[in-house]
Structure formats: C-alpha cells, structure tokens
Amino acid sequence: MLAAVERMFPCGDFALFDHTHEGLAEGSWSIAYEGDYDWPMDVSERQFLHPEEFPREVFLEPIAGWCLGVYAAS
C-alpha cells in the first residue's frame, strides 16, 4: 500500500507505522507525510473512483490532513 501512495505522490517521504502510531485498532497501519495536507483525502477518494489500483484487502481512511489509516477490509 505504501508503494501505491508513493507512486501517486512521488514528492514526499512517506512513513508507514503500525497501529500504535495513531491509536488505531490492532492490525491497522497508518501512512504519514507532513507535506501536502490534501493527500489523504485524495487517496481515499481515489480508492472509490479507481478501485482496481488498490488491494481489495485494505480499506483506507483519512485520519488527519497528514495521515491515512490502512485497515483490513471486512
């Protein structure tokens, strides 16, 4: 998932964190980048417009303007 985000936004140094970074449910992850504050919404929207670009095993949710939650899809 991190690679897909980096392809969409090649400008930044994204970091992948486990669930403890943002107090998420165990098994979740977060991707953070404090550069462009619109990117989490852009990625989240794109998963619905172009679902073929994303793994079906995950659901993405903007947590903040700089952080994207990555959850196992149910």
pLDDT tens, position by position, for the chain (74 residues)?
A: 677 777 777 766 888 898 888 889 899 999 998 776 788 998 889 889 998 888 888 889 999 888 999 998 87
- Find the length of the chain: 74
Phi and psi at residue 57, in whole multiples of 5°? -80, -10
At residue 30, the pLDDT reads 92
Cα–Cα distance between 20 and 42 in angstroms, integer? 24
Contact 4, 50 (CB under 8 A): no
At residue 5, the pLDDT reads 78
Burial 18-34 (b: 16+ CB within 10 A, else e): ebebbebeeebbbbbbe
Cα–Cα distance between 14 and 67 in angstroms, integer? 10
At residue 28, the pLDDT reads 92
At residue 36, the pLDDT reads 67
> Would the pTM count as exceeding 0.95?
no
